[in-house]
Structure 1
Amino acid sequence: MASENITEFPIPPDYWERLVANAYEHDNRADLNILKEYDHPALGDFNRLHRLNLTHLFNNLVRIKAEIKHQKTTSSKQMELLRVTLHQYVEAIKDYRYLAELRKVPDSVGLQQRMALEGAFEELSAPYSESPERNAPYNTQYLTISTKTQSSDAVREFLRKVLPNVLSWSKDEREIRPHEYQHHGMPEIYSPFLNALARFLIGTAAGASLVVPMVIMIFQPSLNKSLITVSMAVLLFAFSLAFAFDAKNEVIVTATATYAAVLVVFVGTSSSSGSDSG
């Protein structure tokens, strides 16, 4: 297979100095006011480029396969090419899978990272300006390697939309996105107060989900009433877990089974107490 010519993108003489400056002067730049969670080098998704690379390697393997089948033989040179291409293909798959597992940064953080790079390397921010089609290579999804994740559920999302900005916005995000904050935009990061309120509401609802059915079954107790109450309570509990929280199937099954077991034990205990008193 013929070797392919690769044209290197022209590099300005001062590129290397600006590259070092961008890395070493990061802490001294006042314009990079980014949440500590995302204070790392910009990580681009470049999903289409990975697809391009994977498809190209796939096609190379297809060419080798077709040639071997047609020739009914191979050679040392071709086997070496096959080994290298297979290795590159597997590594490309690993890279693609790894990037797919990384979290996306909030849009505001990604925009700041992009603007910082475009300011540091202006020649790459809009290359081929003579072309009628806009070319903005820094326009990609930005990712984070941070393992810190914020709990996302229906309760927090509801509070994020209804709470006043002074309560739903964190201090750090106010400093990063002052324009959106002043114009009543929604935060991308939950504030400590919002998280605390969400935990309080979820905890209260969890307690009520046990207390309310028990109270209902205590007054004018009967077996039919208890069975209906337990059945409805379990259905509502499972429904809440499934639609309000992003929980795994096994977690939902375990929690619902535990909840049902507690209510059944209460019914059994109440029935025994009623029989003894009678």
Structure 2
Amino acid sequence: MNSKVQTPISLVLPDDEPDDTGPVTLGEDYWRKLGEHTKLEQDEIEPALGEFKKLHAMNLTHLLNQLVLIKANIEKNGTTSKKQMTLLRKTLQHYANAIRDFQYITELNTPPRIYRNQKRIALEGSFPELANPFPGSRNIPYNTFYRTLQKRTVQNRDGIRELLRKFLPNRLSWTESERRARPDVYSSGRAPDIYSPFVDSTARFIIGTFGGCALVVPMMVMVFQPSLTKTLITVCVAVVLFALALSLVFETDNKDTISATATYAAVLVVFVGTSTGQS
């Protein structure tokens, strides 16, 4: 019986794979341009961060196929070897790292389109031989999605601000800085990340007015021609409407809705108790 472990295909250890990047030879001119490009980006917040989603997918598929071949070989022979276990361990490590890398790069924030275009154009200008490695073909290697490490600040949405945004012109809903940074999104009519000061101020005014009316109106109803039945019905209706407004219009979470509704009901109950005691 042949105890030698057979392999269905010649597998190469990942660390020993040849360095074959394609037709472009990275000569002295490239390293000079790399230094010049790095100097140009010193004033930038961060360098270009290309996503290269297809390349990540290709790498993951390649590593997966290597693991499949190793698994098939072990199942066929019913045994393994020290060399094969070394290959398995390294391939699993590479596969896990590739998954984490892919997850990390795809979870980075999306910068404005003008930022992405600027990064791509700057790279193509600094490295023209890489921007067009195959003259005469439609090969554009730098044409990938670019990400950013900068955190994207998105203001919480609520019914009042969204209602104002839908009925007001876009120029009143967007800040000037965001209009310049995201002209494509602005032109499409979608919501901004940060509402304009005008929308914010108007929304706060509406919310403040609603809060005052939510207390004053029920009290006025209970004061005129007071009766116990009328007072109880008014309190119940007011509390239900207040809870509906919080949950539907302002989209508060469960804990905040319960706390605010209980506080509102307590204020009305105190008023009812005071007015009943005086009568």
Shorter-chain TM-score tier: 0.7 to 0.9
CA distance change for structure 1 residues 8 and 191 in 2, over 3 Å: closer, same or farther? closer
Q: Which amino acid aligns with 1:75?
A: S
Q: Which amino acid aligns with 1:261?
A: A
What is aligned with 2:274? 273
State the identity %.
Answer: 29
What is aligned with 1:32? none
How far 1:240 sits from its partner (Å)? 2.3
Does residue 211 in structure 1 map to residue 212 in structure 2?
yes
How far 1:12 sits from its partner (Å)? 5.2
> What CA distance in whole angstroms lies between the structure 1 residues aligned with 2:191 and 2:121?
20
Mapping of residues 16-165 of structure 1, within 5 Å: 16-26=31-41, 39-131=45-137, 134-147=138-151, 149-151=153-155, 153=157, 155=161, 158=165, 162-164=169-171
> What CA distance in whole angstroms lies between the structure 1 residues aligned with 2:167 and 2:34?
39
> What CA distance in whole angstroms lies between the structure 1 residues aligned with 2:125 and 2:49?
16
Q: Which amino acid aligns with 2:259?
A: T
Name the TM-score, length of structure 2 as normaliser.
Answer: 0.77
CA distance change for structure 1 residues 151 and 211 in 2, over 3 Å: closer, same or farther? same
> What CA distance in whole angstroms lies between the structure 2 residues aligned with 1:110 and 1:187?
21
Q: Which amino acid aligns with 1:25?
A: L
How far 1:25 sits from its partner (Å)? 2.7
Contact persistence 2:11–2:66 (CA under 8 A): no
How far 1:225 sits from its partner (Å)? 2.2
What is aligned with 2:228? none
Number of aligned positions between the proteins:
252
Q: Which amino acid aligns with 1:46?
A: F
Deviations 1:37-75 (A, max 9, x none): xx3101111122212211221221121111111110000
**Please, which runs of 5 or more residues in structure 1 have no aligned partner?**
29-35, 243-250
RMSD: 3.3
Deviations 1:3-60 (A, max 9, x none): 36553221353111111100013358xxxxxxx7xx3101111122212211221221
CA distance change for structure 1 residues 115 and 100 in 2, over 3 Å: closer, same or farther? same
Contact persistence 1:169–1:189 (CA under 8 A): no
What is aligned with 2:258? 257
Does residue 196 in structure 1 map to residue 202 in structure 2?
no
> What CA distance in whole angstroms lies between the structure 1 residues aligned with 2:19 and 2:258?
61
Contact persistence 2:153–2:193 (CA under 8 A): no
Larger Rg: 2
Contact persistence 2:130–2:141 (CA under 8 A): yes
> What CA distance in whole angstroms lies between the structure 1 residues aligned with 2:216 and 2:190?
40
